[in-house]
Chain A
Amino acid sequence: VKGPEVAWYLAVAAFLFATGALGVLIRRSPLIVLLSLEIMLNGGNLALIAMARHVGNLGGQIFALAVMAVAASEVVVGLGLIVAIARRKLDLDVDKLRTLRG
Protein backbone atom coordinates (compact mmCIF):
# COMPACT_ATOMS: atom_id res chain seq x y z
CA VAL A 1 0.00 0.00 0.00
CA LYS A 2 1.52 3.26 -1.10
CA GLY A 3 -1.12 5.92 -1.49
CA PRO A 4 -0.29 9.49 -2.47
CA GLU A 5 3.26 10.62 -3.03
CA VAL A 6 5.21 12.48 -0.38
CA ALA A 7 4.71 15.77 -2.26
CA TRP A 8 0.97 15.70 -1.40
CA TYR A 9 1.79 15.45 2.29
CA LEU A 10 4.17 18.38 1.93
CA ALA A 11 1.39 20.41 0.29
CA VAL A 12 -0.89 19.71 3.26
CA ALA A 13 1.95 20.69 5.60
CA ALA A 14 2.46 23.98 3.73
CA PHE A 15 -1.27 24.78 3.94
CA LEU A 16 -1.30 24.01 7.67
CA PHE A 17 1.72 26.23 8.28
CA ALA A 18 0.16 29.11 6.34
CA THR A 19 -3.16 28.68 8.18
CA GLY A 20 -1.36 28.83 11.52
CA ALA A 21 0.60 31.90 10.44
CA LEU A 22 -2.65 33.59 9.42
CA GLY A 23 -4.10 32.86 12.85
CA VAL A 24 -1.04 34.21 14.65
CA LEU A 25 -1.18 37.42 12.63
CA ILE A 26 -4.92 38.00 12.62
CA ARG A 27 -6.19 37.00 16.07
CA ARG A 28 -6.05 39.19 19.17
CA SER A 29 -6.76 36.67 21.90
CA PRO A 30 -3.42 35.24 23.11
CA LEU A 31 -5.09 31.85 23.68
CA ILE A 32 -5.97 31.51 20.01
CA VAL A 33 -2.53 32.80 19.02
CA LEU A 34 -1.09 29.87 21.01
CA LEU A 35 -3.51 27.44 19.32
CA SER A 36 -2.45 28.76 15.90
CA LEU A 37 1.19 28.32 16.89
CA GLU A 38 0.39 24.67 17.58
CA ILE A 39 -0.97 24.40 14.02
CA MET A 40 2.27 25.85 12.63
CA LEU A 41 4.37 23.40 14.65
CA ASN A 42 2.22 20.52 13.45
CA GLY A 43 2.67 21.59 9.85
CA GLY A 44 6.42 21.43 10.42
CA ASN A 45 6.06 18.03 12.05
CA LEU A 46 4.09 16.67 9.10
CA ALA A 47 6.78 17.86 6.68
CA LEU A 48 9.49 16.24 8.83
CA ILE A 49 7.70 12.90 8.95
CA ALA A 50 6.88 12.97 5.23
CA MET A 51 10.53 13.59 4.38
CA ALA A 52 11.57 10.81 6.79
CA ARG A 53 9.37 8.48 4.73
CA HIS A 54 10.88 9.83 1.49
CA VAL A 55 14.47 9.35 2.64
CA GLY A 56 13.77 6.12 4.51
CA ASN A 57 15.55 7.32 7.64
CA LEU A 58 14.11 7.62 11.14
CA GLY A 59 15.92 10.89 11.91
CA GLY A 60 12.93 12.97 10.80
CA GLN A 61 10.60 11.16 13.17
CA ILE A 62 13.03 11.69 16.05
CA PHE A 63 13.11 15.38 15.17
CA ALA A 64 9.28 15.43 15.18
CA LEU A 65 9.25 13.95 18.69
CA ALA A 66 11.69 16.62 19.88
CA VAL A 67 9.45 19.29 18.31
CA MET A 68 6.51 17.84 20.26
CA ALA A 69 8.46 18.20 23.52
CA VAL A 70 9.33 21.80 22.67
CA ALA A 71 5.68 22.50 21.82
CA ALA A 72 4.55 21.10 25.16
CA SER A 73 7.07 23.31 27.02
CA GLU A 74 5.97 26.32 25.01
CA VAL A 75 2.33 25.68 25.94
CA VAL A 76 3.23 25.43 29.64
CA VAL A 77 5.07 28.74 29.65
CA GLY A 78 2.54 30.47 27.37
CA LEU A 79 -0.47 29.40 29.41
CA GLY A 80 1.35 30.39 32.61
CA LEU A 81 1.89 33.86 31.15
CA ILE A 82 -1.75 34.11 30.06
CA VAL A 83 -3.01 33.12 33.53
CA ALA A 84 -0.63 35.64 35.14
CA ILE A 85 -1.90 38.36 32.76
CA ALA A 86 -5.52 37.51 33.55
CA ARG A 87 -4.80 37.51 37.31
CA ARG A 88 -3.49 41.07 37.07
CA LYS A 89 -6.80 42.07 35.41
CA LEU A 90 -5.10 43.15 32.21
CA ASP A 91 -6.91 42.83 28.89
CA LEU A 92 -6.32 39.53 27.09
CA ASP A 93 -5.60 41.30 23.83
CA VAL A 94 -2.20 41.14 22.16
CA ASP A 95 -2.76 44.56 20.58
CA LYS A 96 -3.15 46.19 23.99
CA LEU A 97 -0.22 44.43 25.72
CA ARG A 98 2.43 46.68 24.33
CA THR A 99 4.33 47.81 27.43
CA LEU A 100 7.36 45.73 26.45
CA ARG A 101 7.66 47.52 23.12
CA GLY A 102 10.93 49.38 22.91
Chain B
Amino acid sequence: MIVAASAGNALVWVVWVVAAFACLGSGIAVVSFSNPFYSALALIGNLGSLAVLYLLLSAEFVAAAQVLIYAGAVMVMFLFVIAYLGGRADAPWAGGPSWQTVGAVAAAAALLVEIIVAIGLKAGGSLAHGKTYAGFGNPRSIGRVFLTDHLLAFEITSIVLLIAAVGGVVLGSYARREHWGSDRAKPEAER
Protein backbone atom coordinates (compact mmCIF):
# COMPACT_ATOMS: atom_id res chain seq x y z
CA MET B 1 0.00 0.00 0.00
CA ILE B 2 2.76 2.41 0.99
CA VAL B 3 4.85 1.27 -1.98
CA ALA B 4 1.93 1.96 -4.32
CA ALA B 5 1.36 5.39 -2.77
CA SER B 6 5.02 6.40 -3.10
CA ALA B 7 5.10 5.10 -6.69
CA GLY B 8 2.06 7.28 -7.43
CA ASN B 9 3.78 10.24 -5.80
CA ALA B 10 6.90 9.69 -7.91
CA LEU B 11 4.73 9.52 -11.03
CA VAL B 12 3.11 12.84 -10.12
CA TRP B 13 6.55 14.37 -9.66
CA VAL B 14 7.67 13.09 -13.06
CA VAL B 15 4.56 14.51 -14.74
CA TRP B 16 5.03 17.81 -12.89
CA VAL B 17 8.69 18.16 -13.90
CA VAL B 18 7.93 17.41 -17.56
CA ALA B 19 4.96 19.79 -17.67
CA ALA B 20 6.75 22.59 -15.79
CA PHE B 21 9.84 22.48 -18.00
CA ALA B 22 7.71 22.28 -21.15
CA CYS B 23 5.82 25.30 -19.85
CA LEU B 24 8.94 27.38 -19.13
CA GLY B 25 10.72 26.28 -22.32
CA SER B 26 7.79 27.09 -24.58
CA GLY B 27 7.34 30.43 -22.79
CA ILE B 28 10.93 31.35 -23.59
CA ALA B 29 10.40 30.09 -27.15
CA VAL B 30 7.39 32.42 -27.59
CA VAL B 31 9.53 35.40 -26.61
CA SER B 32 12.59 34.47 -28.69
CA PHE B 33 11.22 33.13 -32.02
CA SER B 34 11.49 35.75 -34.74
CA ASN B 35 8.58 34.37 -36.78
CA PRO B 36 5.23 35.16 -35.09
CA PHE B 37 3.75 31.94 -36.49
CA TYR B 38 6.24 29.82 -34.55
CA SER B 39 5.64 31.97 -31.47
CA ALA B 40 1.93 31.24 -31.65
CA LEU B 41 2.60 27.50 -32.04
CA ALA B 42 4.92 27.61 -29.00
CA LEU B 43 2.19 29.39 -27.04
CA ILE B 44 -0.19 26.50 -27.84
CA GLY B 45 2.36 24.13 -26.29
CA ASN B 46 2.65 26.45 -23.30
CA LEU B 47 -1.12 26.45 -22.77
CA GLY B 48 -1.29 22.66 -23.09
CA SER B 49 1.40 22.05 -20.47
CA LEU B 50 -0.30 24.58 -18.19
CA ALA B 51 -3.49 22.53 -18.51
CA VAL B 52 -1.53 19.51 -17.23
CA LEU B 53 -0.39 21.56 -14.22
CA TYR B 54 -4.02 22.60 -13.60
CA LEU B 55 -5.03 18.92 -13.62
CA LEU B 56 -2.36 18.16 -11.01
CA LEU B 57 -3.88 20.95 -8.87
CA SER B 58 -7.30 19.23 -9.18
CA ALA B 59 -8.74 22.03 -11.31
CA GLU B 60 -10.37 19.79 -13.90
CA PHE B 61 -12.90 22.24 -15.26
CA VAL B 62 -10.37 25.04 -15.60
CA ALA B 63 -7.98 22.69 -17.43
CA ALA B 64 -10.73 21.74 -19.89
CA ALA B 65 -11.70 25.38 -20.39
CA GLN B 66 -8.03 26.25 -20.91
CA VAL B 67 -7.68 23.71 -23.73
CA LEU B 68 -11.02 24.57 -25.34
CA ILE B 69 -11.01 28.37 -25.06
CA TYR B 70 -7.34 29.27 -25.10
CA ALA B 71 -5.60 26.58 -27.12
CA GLY B 72 -8.69 26.20 -29.29
CA ALA B 73 -10.56 29.40 -29.97
CA VAL B 74 -8.13 32.19 -29.02
CA MET B 75 -5.11 30.64 -30.72
CA VAL B 76 -7.07 29.91 -33.91
CA MET B 77 -7.96 33.61 -34.00
CA PHE B 78 -4.28 34.50 -33.51
CA LEU B 79 -3.19 32.15 -36.29
CA PHE B 80 -5.82 33.60 -38.64
CA VAL B 81 -4.55 37.13 -38.06
CA ILE B 82 -0.91 36.05 -38.44
CA ALA B 83 -1.77 34.29 -41.70
CA TYR B 84 -3.66 37.39 -42.87
CA LEU B 85 -0.77 39.72 -42.10
CA GLY B 86 1.75 37.35 -43.64
CA GLY B 87 3.83 36.69 -40.51
CA ARG B 88 6.47 39.36 -40.94
CA ALA B 89 9.72 38.36 -39.28
CA ASP B 90 10.93 40.46 -36.37
CA ALA B 91 14.33 39.47 -35.06
CA PRO B 92 14.41 40.16 -31.32
CA TRP B 93 18.17 40.13 -30.83
CA ALA B 94 19.16 41.82 -34.09
CA GLY B 95 21.67 44.66 -34.03
CA GLY B 96 23.45 43.68 -30.85
CA PRO B 97 22.45 44.63 -27.31
CA SER B 98 20.95 48.10 -27.14
CA TRP B 99 20.12 49.97 -23.96
CA GLN B 100 16.51 48.96 -24.48
CA THR B 101 17.15 45.19 -24.48
CA VAL B 102 19.51 45.46 -21.51
CA GLY B 103 16.90 47.49 -19.62
CA ALA B 104 14.15 45.03 -20.53
CA VAL B 105 16.14 42.02 -19.31
CA ALA B 106 17.04 43.85 -16.09
CA ALA B 107 13.42 44.85 -15.50
CA ALA B 108 12.14 41.30 -16.08
CA ALA B 109 14.79 39.85 -13.77
CA ALA B 110 13.94 42.43 -11.10
CA LEU B 111 10.25 41.50 -11.41
CA LEU B 112 11.07 37.80 -11.00
CA VAL B 113 13.23 38.38 -7.92
CA GLU B 114 10.57 40.65 -6.47
CA ILE B 115 7.78 38.09 -6.90
CA ILE B 116 9.85 35.25 -5.46
CA VAL B 117 10.97 37.33 -2.47
CA ALA B 118 7.40 38.47 -1.83
CA ILE B 119 6.06 34.90 -1.93
CA GLY B 120 8.94 33.59 0.18
CA LEU B 121 8.54 36.29 2.84
CA LYS B 122 4.79 35.96 2.98
CA ALA B 123 4.53 32.19 3.22
CA GLY B 124 7.98 30.67 3.64
CA GLY B 125 7.68 26.88 3.66
CA SER B 126 4.05 26.72 4.73
CA LEU B 127 2.47 26.16 1.34
CA ALA B 128 1.26 22.57 1.59
CA HIS B 129 -1.77 21.25 -0.23
CA GLY B 130 -4.88 22.20 1.69
CA LYS B 131 -7.84 20.06 2.60
CA THR B 132 -10.28 19.55 -0.24
CA TYR B 133 -13.56 17.73 -0.56
CA ALA B 134 -14.67 15.11 -3.07
CA GLY B 135 -15.38 16.69 -6.42
CA PHE B 136 -13.17 19.74 -5.81
CA GLY B 137 -12.84 21.57 -9.12
CA ASN B 138 -15.12 19.39 -11.22
CA PRO B 139 -17.76 21.07 -13.41
CA ARG B 140 -20.55 20.42 -10.93
CA SER B 141 -18.86 22.14 -7.99
CA ILE B 142 -17.56 24.99 -10.19
CA GLY B 143 -21.02 25.57 -11.58
CA ARG B 144 -22.59 25.61 -8.15
CA VAL B 145 -20.07 28.10 -6.74
CA PHE B 146 -20.18 30.25 -9.87
CA LEU B 147 -23.95 30.59 -9.86
CA THR B 148 -24.38 31.09 -6.12
CA ASP B 149 -21.47 32.75 -4.32
CA HIS B 150 -19.93 34.42 -7.37
CA LEU B 151 -23.03 35.31 -9.35
CA LEU B 152 -22.00 38.97 -9.67
CA ALA B 153 -18.63 37.97 -11.16
CA PHE B 154 -20.48 35.71 -13.62
CA GLU B 155 -22.74 38.54 -14.79
CA ILE B 156 -19.87 41.04 -15.04
CA THR B 157 -17.94 38.50 -17.13
CA SER B 158 -20.84 38.30 -19.57
CA ILE B 159 -20.95 42.09 -19.87
CA VAL B 160 -17.19 42.23 -20.48
CA LEU B 161 -17.52 39.66 -23.27
CA LEU B 162 -20.42 41.59 -24.81
CA ILE B 163 -18.43 44.84 -24.80
CA ALA B 164 -15.46 43.06 -26.38
CA ALA B 165 -17.70 41.64 -29.12
CA VAL B 166 -19.11 45.09 -29.87
CA GLY B 167 -15.59 46.53 -29.89
CA GLY B 168 -14.39 43.84 -32.30
CA VAL B 169 -17.26 44.59 -34.70
CA VAL B 170 -16.63 48.35 -34.52
CA LEU B 171 -12.88 47.95 -35.13
CA GLY B 172 -13.56 45.54 -37.99
CA SER B 173 -15.96 47.92 -39.70
CA TYR B 174 -13.42 50.74 -39.44
CA ALA B 175 -10.76 48.48 -40.91
CA ARG B 176 -13.00 47.70 -43.89
CA ARG B 177 -13.37 51.38 -44.88
CA GLU B 178 -10.06 51.63 -46.64
CA HIS B 179 -9.12 55.30 -46.33
CA TRP B 180 -11.26 56.49 -43.48
CA GLY B 181 -8.36 58.27 -41.82
CA SER B 182 -7.18 60.27 -44.82
CA ASP B 183 -10.76 60.83 -45.99
CA ARG B 184 -11.72 62.45 -42.74
CA ALA B 185 -8.75 64.81 -42.91
CA LYS B 186 -9.94 66.27 -46.21
CA PRO B 187 -12.20 69.31 -46.24
CA GLU B 188 -15.88 68.75 -46.85
CA ALA B 189 -15.98 69.98 -50.48
CA GLU B 190 -13.38 67.50 -51.77
CA ARG B 191 -15.21 64.35 -50.66
A residues contacting B by CB (< 8 A) are 1-12, 14-23, 25-29, 31-32, 34-36, 38-39, 42, 45-46, 49-50, 52-56, 58-59, 61-66, 68-77, 79-84, 86-88, 92-93
Contact = CB atoms under 8 A, between A and B. Distances in A.
Contacts of B78: 31, 34-35, 75, 79
B128 to A, nearest CB: 6
Nearest to B17: A4
Interface of B: 5, 8-9, 11-13, 15-16, 20, 23-24, 27-28, 30-31, 36, 39-40, 43, 46-47, 50, 53-54, 56-59, 61-62, 65-66, 69-70, 73-74, 77-78, 81-82, 84-85, 88, 90, 92, 100-101, 103-105, 107-109, 111-112, 115-116, 119, 123, 125, 127-133, 136-137, 141-142, 145-146, 149-150, 153, 156-157, 160-161, 163-165, 167-168, 171-172, 174-176, 178, 181
Given A5-B127, A31-B81, A68-B65, A36 B31 contact: yes
A76 B167 contact: yes
Contacts of B59: 49, 52-53, 61, 64
Contacts of B129: 2, 5-6, 53-54
Given A15-B112, A39-B46, A29 B88 contact: yes
Contact of B119 (A10, A25, A42, A70): A10
Nearest to A55: B130
Nearest to B176: A87
A54 B128 CA distance: 6
Residue picked from A3, A8, A12, most chain B C-beta under 10 Å: A3
A84 B70 CA distance: 23
A72 B167 CA distance: 13
Contacts of B70: 38, 42, 68, 71
Contacts of A22: 31, 104-105, 107-108
A4 B40 CA distance: 29
Given A27-B90, A68-B65, A61 B142 contact: yes
A89 to B, nearest CB: 10
